[in-house]
Amino acid sequence: MNAPAAPAATPSPAPAAAPPDDRTVVRTLVSLKLRLLRNGLRRSRGRAALYLLGAVLGVLFAAGIALAMAMLEHAVDSGSAGDAGVVLTGALTLGWAAIPLFLFSSDESADPTRLTMLPLRPGPLLRGSVLAALIGPGPLVSLVLLTGAALSGALGGASAAAAVIGVPLAVVTVVVLSRAVAAGNARLLSSRRGKDFAIFGGLLFALLVQIANVGSQSVFGKPGADGLDLEPLAPIASVLRWIPPVSAVDAVRTAGEGRYPLALLQLAATVALLLLLLRWWRASLQQLMVTADASTVEVVRGVQESGRGWRFLPDGRVGAVMQRHLRYAWREPRAKAAVFTSIGMTLVICVLSIVQGWSTVYLVAMTGMFLGLQMLNLFGMDGSAFWMVAATLLTPADARDELRGRAFALLSYAVPVTLVLAVVLAAATGDWSGLPSAVGVAFALLGSGIAIGAVLSVLAPYTMPADNNPMRNAAPGQGGLVMLNSFGSMFGSVIVASPAIAYLAWALATDAPTWPLLLAGPLYGTLIATLGLRLAAGRLLERLPEILTKAVER
């Protein structure tokens, strides 16, 4: 009798891959941040030199401010010096909270959506992200500034002990605040609406900086005044010192005054805020890792709306080009950044001039010049889509209509903006008699800018990178073309519009009437713009291969 056959051995299943250790995840995230910094510096020696120079200058500037804050105690009474440190800490905290709203797309390490597809748990991801966020010149500059803010109110050894705890705690809190804001608004900030918000927020931030600059003049006294008057900071500091993380820095002053329980309470308030921010950051990371991106969901919309709202445009190619250009100006972040930056620069200068008392209605001429510069690099903004435009440019009439449509689209918003700002400046300055000539010169500069911009768009186009940063205006290696377009167009516009500017100067010097510029300025601008568009259209067809090469170059 045969023995029963032994059962065949079944192969054991392969062991499942062990999840990455928590410490490994943390080390990997920190090394990833270091590698990002190193690879960014290895792109070019010029980039590395600028980065290192900027970091060194930033640290030195912060050290100078910290030294000045530490010496305030000898220049003013200790209470006022502490108020200055509190206000500095509050401004720094506000800046860290606003950074991700304006510069989210330019910092790859601040975007948590890049890690959502990896098998990471929120805990190790949070710890690694905190340590990675503390690497870089930003936290170092903040550490130096907050040290100076703490020294401004320090009194004795108790203040030193409180500073050892309070200053690093404040640095960690502001950094975590910035990353928590970025993670909590990651979906919004990476979308088109988020980029639009960054554009408007940047303009508002520039305006607030100018207002703060004007306001600081009243704080630090007028020329010839004795000493520094920091009394206006007292009511602001009395509120800010109880708001964490400012309270952690102010605990240095409180401890120096012998009020130890109150100092501990201020430090505890900052610790509580830090824990809340970490909890918010962790919840945002967890939500990002388990929630689908809404941008990948198909949204069905009716096609009937495509032609609505555009019936006022002319027929034919001119109207179609105007519609496309206006849609770009409203939807494309780079185009919108260019338009609103031009308007915002004029608004900032006008507001600053009104506040400081040197405003004039003739500042509206800058609006005409800056908006006329929107005709620069028309085809580089299209990018690789320009081949569709180039394929339809068959005759000189097509070229003229293409440029005319883009110029009319620019005029559709440049003219109303110029008129509104001219009326506002006239009302603010009371110089209603200069309003007609100011508008005339502004329109002459606008027409000159359109002419120069059209010619340079054909003769010297450059690439507009299609990345997530709307503030990048050229591809690497094309800085010379950008400089040629920018400065050449500004000086060229002034030179071309010099007859209108010269007449205005002569009329103001001899008390001659300036009102004829209200008619002569727009007519001259129209004539120059028409001539420039014709010259550019005459070269457009033969330059199409070069323009297409520059437009799609990356």
pLDDT per residue over 458-480, tens digit each? 887 777 655 544 444 555 445 55
Mean pLDDT over residues 176-184, rounded?
85
Q: Which of 329, 492, 344 is nearest to 417 (CA)?
A: 344
Query: Which DSSP symbol is given to 475?
Result: -
**In this structure, what token pair is assigned to residue 467?**
């990345």
How high is the mean pLDDT of the chain? 77
Of 368, 389, 367, the C-alpha closest to 378 is 389
Query: Exposure of 494 by Cβ count < 10 A (0-12 exposed, 13-18 middle, 19+ buried)?
Result: middle
DSSP 2: P
Residue 476: the pLDDT is 47
To 5 degrees, how large is the angle CA 184–CA 189–CA 193?
130
CA 108 to chain centre: 15
Which uninterrupted H or E stretch holds 400?
helix 396-429
pLDDT the model gives residue 339: 77
Cα–Cα distances (Å) from 342 to 121, 348, 500, in that order, read 45, 10, 22
pTM, entire model: 0.59
Measured CA to CA, the distance from residue 113 to residue 104 in angstroms comes to 12
Terminal CA-to-CA distance of the chain, rounded, Å? 81
At 288, which helix (H) or strand (E)? helix 260-290
Q: DSSP for 143-204?
A: HHHHHHHHHTT--SHHHHHHHHHHHHHHHHHHHHHHHHHHHHTHHHHTSHHHHHHHHHHHHH
pLDDT band of residue 528 (cuts 50, 70, 90) is very high
Q: 215 φ, ψ to 5°? A: -65, -30
Q: How far is CA 351 from CA 46, 149, 344, 415, in A?
A: 37, 31, 10, 20
pLDDT class of 217 with cuts at 50, 70, 90: low
> Taking 60 as the threshold, does the pLDDT of residue 214 lie above it?
no
Predicted pLDDT of residue 479: 55
Residues comprising the chain, all counted:
554
Distance CA(367)–CA(374), nearest Å, equals 11
Q: Which pLDDT value is given to residue 532?
A: 92
- The whole-number pLDDT of residue 296 equals 46
Kindly tell me the sign of the dihedral angle through the C-alpha atoms of 308, 334, 467, 121: negative
Residue 238, pLDDT score: 82
Max avg pLDDT among 66-80, 286-300, 433-447: 433-447
Determine which of 57-61, 106-110, 156-160, 375-379 has the lowest per-residue pLDDT on average.
106-110
21 or 365, higher pLDDT: 365
Burial of 451 from C-beta contacts in 10 A (0-12 / 13-18 / 19+): buried
Short-list 27, 46, 182, 56, CA closest to 112? 182
Share of the chain above pLDDT 90, in %: 14
